[in-house]
Amino acid sequence: MSEKITVTVESQYKDRVAKFLNSRNRDVAEMRGEIAKGEYPSVKMTGGMIKKAAAAIGLTKFAEMGEAIETAANLKDSGKVKILIDELADYLSRVEITYS
């Protein structure tokens, strides 16, 4: 079993964080299907949405991952996109949010 990753977020974002995490799990599944079909614009858009939503609530690592997905999709690098989606899925499975 992989080690958990603890991330602390301001308590004012508690409701938004729960929604964010649920949406990202859905995004992982959708992006896997989209990249298999070569739908790079959709993957790029999703990466950009992850980047912006994460940055707005202080989830820096998620924002960086979203930006990396956005960039790789823009370059139509399916191998890199697949790796990044897998990394996002792994991070999602291990992250534990605490609030300050």
List pLDDT tens digits, range 32-51: 999 999 999 999 999 999 99
Q: Are 66 and 48 within 8 A, CB to CB? A: yes
Distance, CA of 59 to CA of 83 (rounded, Å): 20
List pLDDT tens digits, range 55-91: 999 999 999 999 999 999 999 999 999 999 999 999 9
Provide the CB-side half-sphere exposure for 25 (13 A, CA). Answer: 9
**So what's the architecture of 5-99 in CATH?**
Up-down Bundle (1.20)
